[in-house]
Amino acid sequence: MRGDAGLFDLLKRAIVPAVCMLMMGYFLVAAITGPTGVLSWRGFETEKSELAEDVAARAQEKAALEKQVALLDPRGVDLDMADELVRRNLNVVKPDEVIITLPDKTDETATQ
């Protein structure tokens, strides 16, 4: 009986450190392979660079729109810009005019 009691005491004393080791192992694996772990950093860097490119493109679009808005300021409308917008949006053409359409800048960059 003495041998059984010694084994039981040994298991009783070893259970807390064993559970702690298992928990540490779980957290270590999660820190390496988890969704925000070390192995995911490479994907985050790629996503970060893609988002930075998207931000730069949107900043260019914003600047172009701001320029267009400035040209349509009610205190001093650029007549050429207003005429162009009206003709484009309403499809208004005088009988003696010829329309020559040019490809958009986005079309030119897509074909290159």
The pLDDT tens digits for 29-51 are 999 988 888 888 888 888 999 99
In the 3-class helix/strand/coil scheme, how is 59-108 assigned residue by residue?
Answer: HHHHHHHHHHHHHCCCCCCCHHHHHHHHHHHHCCCCCCCCCCCCCCHHHH
The predicted structure's pLDDT at residue 87: 79
The predicted structure's pLDDT at residue 72: 77
pLDDT digits (tens, 9 = 90+) for 54-112: 999 999 999 999 988 887 777 877 788 778 778 778 877 778 878 777 887 765 555 55
CA 105 – CA 108 distance, rounded (Å): 5
Domain locations along the chain: 1-33, 34-111
The predicted structure's pLDDT at residue 1: 47
Query: How many CA atoms does the CB half-sphere of 86 hold within 13 Å?
Result: 11
